[in-house]
Structure 1
Amino acid sequence: MEDPVTRFYKCRKTCCEMLEDRGYIITAREKLENFAAFKELFEENEKLRSRMTIITSHKNDANNKIIVYFVDEVKKTGVKPLRELTEKMDEKSIQRAILVTQNTLTPFAKDAIKEAAPRHIIENFLDTELLVNKINNNKIIYNI
């Protein structure tokens, strides 16, 4: 099985590519970040995925922002991380979010996502779905 830090690095890298494909601004630092730099930043953030949030604006509309929130929970994700996410969204006036979980959502969490719409549009991905960019068919080579 793959090291969790390596897996998270690949997942976050794919998220940046996905955001860029959707027309959002990704900084050069995020695009060019290698594994060593990522690992150092992750350790500075006490290895908490939730502290590695990505917030960016769309190229054509600075008011069109999105947040990518990585959940710390390894087991099923409940309502608490969703509450934290929607609070951040309200705080920063963000309508769209990508919630990246390590496991499935509880039924209550799924209902909470539905109830949050249309004020908060939240997409959920498992981190395993984001290990490879499926849109970009080129094989991604990670320098680890």
Structure 2
Amino acid sequence: MDDEAETYKLWRIRKTVMQLCHDRGYLVTQDELDQTLDQFKDQFGDKPSEKRPARSDLIVLVAHNDDPTDQMFVFFPDEPKIGIKTIKTYCQRMQEENIHRAIIVVQAGMTPSA
């Protein structure tokens, strides 16, 4: 996939995830919900083939409207198929930061063992 198409895809995915979080009562700014493709490119870059943006740059941490201690990560793994090692890394990070919820946006699924 060329850089333009990949950048567009990442922008749409991130925009959809932000809307999903907002719909579930998490704090998402109106600027994040209304972010245009050009704003996305300015913030993250437009050369995914050169890791600008890298999927890991798109990680989001949101807090719930009713309980700011109820936070959720949204992870964007770089690997096309994620396995136990990646899941374990995310779980460790969540434990360190005392976060109990997460969404993992995968590219091609998970390995059977994960």
TM-score normalised over the length of structure 2: 0.84
Equivalent residue number for residue 90 of structure 1:
95
Equivalence for 1:16? 18
Q: State the partner residue of 1:107.
A: 112
Higher relative contact order (CA 8 A, sep 6+): 1
Give the Å deviation of 1:41.
Answer: 2.3
Can you give the 5+ residue segments of structure 2 that lack an aligned partner in the other structure?
none
Return the letter of the residue paired with 2:55: R
Greater strand content: 1
For residue 65 of structure 2, what is the aligned residue in structure 1?
59
Structure 1 stretches of 5 or more lacking a match? 110-144
State the one-letter code of the partner of 2:90.
L
Residue 62 of structure 1 aligns to which amino acid in structure 2? P
Report % sequence identity. 33
| CA gap 1:29/1:87 in 2 versus in 1, 3 angstroms | farther
Using a 3 Å threshold, how does the CA distance of structure 1 residues 96 and 35 change in structure 2: closer, same or farther? Answer: same
Superposition CA RMSD, Å: 2.0
1:54-78 deviations in whole A, cap 9, x for unaligned? 101110011111110011112x221
